[in-house]
């Protein structure tokens, strides 16, 4: 595993080289210490990122009235306007597995004319991200043991699904403060999240010891966060990354976050082999959807802002 230039040296899963034991060992270490790593040679072209970004910028530049047609009080509820997650954050959700249908239903409300380009590009991006997620889960399972992919992939991760969140941050212009919080500290309610950020930067990760570090934008590298569902499924062996977005410049910032999740009805329980002999279980079994509802119904947990996490929901008092 090589290392990318960042404020601290962080590991990289490079798909152009065969996965070997030393790569797996540093991956585990990164997931325990930080809950995230970079992935390179992922097979997604720069051209596709730039098309997704330019279509997203176009959508976010539409008048607020148009965007609110798919806002929190609409039938679709795919658009989250500013002042919900933060004053500077707005997002659009595209759900899989049919990314085309999901983006088309939002586009039909947003645009007066037929606009199939957006749906076609979202379909391509969503499918590529789903495929990449399965490859990453495969490597994560390998890091637990040689035959763990065969043992657990189909039965545990075979029904995962993904959704995409396009995010636009518009920091205030000409203010005294040097930086503002674009998105508060939170953990993701996913197994893994794959994040693309544009060149502005601002994503920060918190180490186990509570230290914040800047995750600088790095061309060709995507960021993979471990989410709460994977933390519970691994009995805490993998740490759900605590992260936030800090806006340091008065320039708009765009990010694309792809969440890979268990099916709603799945009962999440760490397999015995993952827990290990003599190690206590730290979570009770829970239904995936019940956790999502718990987070959504708590003011502090709303919109992924940390407050209540999987530990509060299913943690066992040892
Ligand atoms: O904007 C980013 O870089 C990260 C977004 C994020 O963490 C999220 O949407 O959960
Ligand atoms: Fe996040």
Cβ pair 193, 257 in contact under 8 A: yes
The rounded distance, in Å, linking the Cα atoms of 200 and 204 is 13
Ligand minimally distant from the alpha carbon of residue 227: 2
pTM for the whole structure: 0.94
Q: Answer whether residue 9 shows pLDDT above 70.
A: no
- Per-residue pLDDT band for 112 (boundaries 50, 70, 90) equals confident
In the chain, what are the domains?
A: 12-265 (2.60.120.330)
Q: What integer is the mean pLDDT of 16-39? A: 92
280 C-alpha to ligand 1 centroid (Å): 32
Query: How many CA within 13 A on the CB side of residue 208?
Result: 12
Three-state SS string over the chain comes to CCEECCCCCEEEEECCCCCCHHHHHHHHHHHHHCCEEEEECCCCCHHHHHHHHHHHHHHHCCCHHHHHHHCCCCCCCCEECCCCCCCCEEEEEEECCCHHHHHHHHHHHHCCCCCHHHHHHHHHHHHHHHHHHHHHHHHHHHHHCCCHHHHHHHHHHCCCEEEEEEEEECCCCCCCCCCEEEEEEECCCCCEEEEEECCCCCEEEECCCCCEEECCCCCCCEEEEECHHHHHHCCCCCCCCEEEEEECCCCCEEEEEEEEECCCCCEECCCHHHHCCCCCCCECCEEHHHHHHHHHHCCCCHHHCCCCCHHHHHECCC
pLDDT, position 304? 53
- Which residue's CA is the closest to the ligand 1 atom numbered 8? 257
- Does the CB atom of residue 188 touch ligand 1 within 6 A? yes
Q: Answer whether residue 305 shows pLDDT above 60.
A: no
147 C-alpha to ligand 2 centroid (Å): 31
35 C-alpha to ligand 1 centroid (Å): 14
In percent, how much of the chain has pLDDT > 70? 93
Q: What integer is the mean pLDDT of 116-140? A: 97
Mean pLDDT of the chain: 91
pLDDT, position 100? 98
This model of the complex carries an ipTM of: 0.99
For tokens 């645009």, name the residue: 111
Residues 229-241 have pLDDT tens digits of 999 999 999 999 9
In percent, how much of the chain has pLDDT > 90? 76
171 C-alpha to ligand 1 centroid (Å): 15
């Amino acid at each position: 595993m090589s290392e990318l230039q960042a404020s601290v040296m962080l590991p990289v899963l490079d798909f152009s080289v065969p996965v070997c034991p030393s790569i797996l060992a540093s991956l585990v270490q990164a997931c325990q210490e930080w809950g995230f790593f970079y992935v390179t040679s992922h097979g997604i072209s720069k051209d596709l990122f730039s098309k997704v970004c330019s279509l997203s910028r176009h959508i976010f530049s539409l008048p607020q009235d148009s965007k609110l047609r798919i806002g929190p009080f609409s039938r679709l509820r795919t658009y989250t306007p500013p002042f919900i997650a933060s004053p500077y954050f707005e997002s659009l959700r595209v759900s899989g597995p049919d990314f085309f249908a999901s983006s088309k239903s939002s586009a039909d409300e947003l645009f007066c004319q037929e606009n199939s380009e957006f749906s076609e590009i979202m379909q391509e991006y969503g499918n590529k991200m789903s495929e990449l997620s399965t490859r990453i889960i495969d490597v994560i399972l390998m890091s637990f043991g040689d035959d763990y992919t065969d043992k657990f992939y189909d039965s545990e991760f075979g029904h995962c699904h993904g959704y995409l969140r396009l995010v636009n941050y518009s920091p205030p212009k000409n203010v005294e403060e040097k930086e503002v919080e674009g998105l508060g500290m939170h953990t993701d309610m996913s197994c893994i999240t794959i994040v693309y950020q544009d060149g502005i930067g601002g994503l920060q990760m918190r180490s186990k010891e509570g230290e914040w570090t800047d995750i600088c934008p790095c061309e060709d590298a995507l960021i993979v966060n471990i989410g709460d569902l994977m933390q519970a499924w691994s009995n805490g062996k993998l740490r759900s990354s605590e992260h936030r977005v800090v806006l340091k410049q008065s320039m708009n910032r765009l990010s694309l976050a792809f969440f890979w999740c268990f099916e709603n009805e799945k009962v999440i329980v760490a397999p015995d082999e993952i827990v290990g002999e003599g190690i206590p279980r730290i979570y009770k079994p829970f239904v995936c959807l019940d956790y999502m509802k718990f987070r959504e119904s708590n003011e502090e947990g709303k919109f992924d802002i940390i407050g209540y996490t999987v530990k509060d929901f299913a943690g066992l008092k040892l």
